[in-house]
Amino acid sequence: MEKLTIICVDDQPEVLNAVARDIGSLSSHCDIEECQSAQECLDLLEELDAEGKPIALVISDHVMPEKNGVQMLTEIASDGRFKTTRLFLLTGLATHQDTIQAINQAGIDQYFEKAWDPDELLAECKRALTRFVFAAGLDYLDYQPVLDAEKTFELVAGRG
């Protein structure tokens, strides 16, 4: 079984640590990568994609120096190589306009406000990973401990 990749992006190391800690239980089946800027994340995506790693989820902050989170997520969403990658926005400071772009252009799956509920974040991550595993055509039985059971039932049943 190949590990899935989750990338967390935030310019504040303490937030990054907190996110990584909250979803730490997924590390049995996922590599959790931390990036401190949008560019670092995009570079990492290139690198991981070249290695053929399954990039399941990007959790990004919005307000960061240089490129902001919504811009970065929009770029990822419009890149055909990452069309199965799920995207979360985790921010305290997004304007109305940014939020609209995040939904319409980046097609984000979840919007979390700082401070987030750790249990909810973890549950949504599991749901996102489940969607990813099915969309990417991986065997769900290999990843069951980090998947959402109910989402799995729905997706397996849908296949008839």
Report the interface residues with another protein, using CB under 8 A. Answer: 139, 141, 144, 147, 149-150, 152-160
Taking the least distance from each CB to another protein, the nearer of 80 and 158 is 158
Asked whether the beta carbons of 119 and 137 are under 8 A apart, the reply is no
CB of residue 34 to another protein, shortest distance in Å: 24
Residue 71 tokens read as: 């811009």
Taking the least distance from each CB to another protein, the nearer of 100 and 149 is 149
Tell me whether the omega of the peptide bond preceding residue 115 falls within 30 degrees of 0, making it cis: yes
Taking the least distance from each CB to another protein, the nearer of 9 and 146 is 146
Residue 131 tokens read as: 């969607």
Taking the least distance from each CB to another protein, the nearer of 37 and 84 is 84
CB of residue 78 to another protein, shortest distance in Å: 23
CB of residue 91 to another protein, shortest distance in Å: 31
For residues 9 and 90, give the distance between their C-alpha atoms in angstroms, rounded to a whole number: 9
Question: What is the side-by-side order of every strand in the sheet holding 86-91?
Answer: 30-35, 4-9, 55-60, 86-91, 110-113
CB of residue 53 to another protein, shortest distance in Å: 18
DSSP 68-133: -HHHHHHHHHT-GGGTT-EEEEEES---HHHHHHHHHTS--SEEEESSPPHHHHHHHHHHHHHHHH
Taking the least distance from each CB to another protein, the nearer of 12 and 144 is 144
Residue 64 tokens read as: 């960061």
CB of residue 147 to another protein, shortest distance in Å: 7
